[in-house]
């Protein structure tokens, strides 16, 4: 990917880090879904989401197939028990018990720890629970890119672009994937749209920086 992008490895890492989900307390939090999620038993929520994605995969859903390709062993029974303990402990510590924001904080922690498979499990669970689909689906596309799975990343990003709510992260990831395929013009167009959406939105400031950084490098490459 580095050769195709004409970017240094350090630049790629910086850009992908800028696109990472932030904790709910940083910037503008995703909309709360009060009362919609019961995290009394996080393991049951995680297992329910896993079963739903497995059923969707068997029915031929490409999004479910892409998501399950990312998580692998991170959605096993043992991994679910570990996540259950993490979520339960955080739930006990949080003053604000809004479940969707709690899960988003866990996603941000997983990204910070470079536990991308674990982040993907949490994001897939949020997607199953229909929490902020554009934020969640675009973050899953980022997981795929971080894991070097650019086919899945492009599929998830393009799926996100079909939603009414346009998210700059999805445009940035789609642009990255087009660069990986050698489609420079398509990549520049997608990144430019992502930058335009992010401009003037404090909650998208880091994504604006990511898009602008790649566009600038490509301009001088």
The predicted-structure confidence for 178-215, as pLDDT tens digits, reads as follows 988 889 999 999 999 999 999 988 889 999 999 999 99
Q: How far is CA 86 from CA 77, 89, 119, in A?
A: 14, 5, 12
Decide: 210 and 172 in contact? Cβ < 8 Å.
yes
* 44 vs 30, higher pLDDT: 44
3-state secondary structure of 26: coil
Q: Look at residue 38 and give its three-state secondary structure.
A: coil
CATH of the domain at 119: 1.25.40.10
Domain boundaries, position 32: 2-220
Assess whether pLDDT exceeds 50 at residue 32: no
What is the total count of domains within the chain?
A: 1
DSSP conformation letters of 177-216: HHHHTT-HHHHHHHHHHHHHHHTT-GGGHHHHHHHHHHHH
Instruction: Please answer whether residues 33 and 127 qualify as being in contact, where contact means their C-beta atoms are separated by less than 8 angstroms.
Output: no
Phi-psi bin for 199: left (phi > 0), alpha (psi -120 to 50), beta? beta
Q: Which residue has 């990549």 as its token pair?
A: 187
CA distance 178 to 172: 10
The H helix count followed by the E strand count for the chain is: 12, 0
- Separation CA 50–CA 184 (nearest Å): 37
Residue 145 contacts residue 16 (beta carbons within 8 Å):
yes
Question: Could you tell me if 154 and 177 are in contact, meaning their C-beta atoms sit under 8 angstroms apart?
Answer: yes
126-179 residue pLDDT tens: 999 988 899 999 999 999 999 999 999 999 999 999 999 999 999 999 999 998
Euclidean distance between CA atoms 212 and 203, whole angstroms: 16
């Amino acid at each position: 990917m580095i050769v195709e992008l004409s970017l240094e490895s350090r630049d790629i890492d910086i850009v992908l880090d800028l696109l990472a989900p932030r904790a709910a307390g940083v910037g503008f939090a995703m909309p709360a879904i009060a009362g919609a999620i019961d995290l009394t038993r996080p393991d049951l929520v995680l297992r329910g989401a896993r079963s739903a994605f497995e059923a969707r995969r068997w029915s031929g859903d490409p999004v479910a197939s892409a998501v399950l390709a990312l998580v692998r062993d991170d959605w096993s029974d043992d991994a679910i028990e570990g996540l259950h303990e993490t979520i339960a402990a955080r739930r006990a510590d949080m003053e604000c018990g809004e479940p969707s924001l709690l899960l988003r904080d866990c996603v941000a922690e997983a990204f910070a720890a470079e536990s991308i498979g674990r982040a993907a499990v949490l994001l897939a669970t949020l997607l199953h629970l229909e929490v902020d689909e554009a934020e969640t689906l675009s973050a899953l596309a980022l997981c795929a890119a971080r894991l070097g799975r650019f086919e899945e990343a492009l599929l998830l990003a393009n799926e996100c672009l079909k939603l009414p709510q346009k998210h700059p992260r999805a445009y940035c990831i789609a642009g990255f994937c087009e660069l990986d395929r050698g489609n420079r013009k398509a990549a520049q167009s997608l990144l430019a749209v992502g930058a335009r959406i992010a401009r003037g939105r404090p909650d998208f400031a880091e994504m604006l920086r990511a898009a602008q950084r790649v566009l600038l490098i490509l301009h001088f490459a």
